[in-house]
């Protein structure tokens, strides 16, 4: 039975990942400021690529599973740090927060 359901599960995971990545691309294009665009890009990387990597693990050979687990672990470790550093650089360049409900909670005066 798993031989019949496995291709459907793999296809569903790939479609889920592509839908999340597509939504994040629209977020990059339409969100009002750099901070929200960084947020959309980081969510796309983690929440979009993880289902695709899981689909590759299920459909691929067992020899590739450790490599895919390593890629997933590195994504989960590095993407939050990268997005934080990008947002910090944008903040230090005094990029404006254009969202109507944005609040600067850093305590610094601009």
Q: Are 110 and 94 in contact (CB under 8 A)?
A: yes
Token pair recorded at residue 15: 């479609």
Triad 102, 35, 37: Cα angle to 5°: 120
Run means of pLDDT, 10 residues per run, the chain, 110 residues: 84 95 90 89 88 92 91 92 92 84 70
> What is the per-residue pLDDT for 49?
92
> What is the per-residue pLDDT for 19?
95
> What is the per-residue pLDDT for 21?
93
Residue 103 included in any domain: no
Residue 42 included in any domain: yes
Residue 105 included in any domain: no
Q: Are 40 and 27 in contact (CB under 8 A)?
A: yes
Residue 61 included in any domain: yes
Predicted TM-score (pTM) of the model is 0.79
Domain span at residue 20 reads: 2-92
> What is the per-residue pLDDT for 18?
95
**Number of domains the chain is built from:** 1
Residue 33 included in any domain: yes
């Amino acid at each position: 039975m798993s031989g019949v359901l496995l291709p459907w599960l793999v296809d569903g995971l790939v479609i889920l990942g592509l839908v999340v990545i597509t939504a994040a691309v629209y977020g990059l294009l339409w969100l009002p400021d750099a901070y929200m665009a960084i947020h959309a890009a980081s969510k796309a990387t983690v929440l979009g690529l993880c289902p695709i990597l899981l689909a590759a693990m299920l459909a691929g050979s067992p020899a590739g599973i450790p490599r895919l687990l390593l890629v997933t672990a590195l994504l989960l470790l590095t993407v939050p740090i990268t997005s934080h550093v990008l947002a910090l650089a944008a903040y230090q360049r005094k990029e404006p927060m254009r969202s109507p409900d944005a609040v600067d909670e850093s305590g610094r005066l601009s």
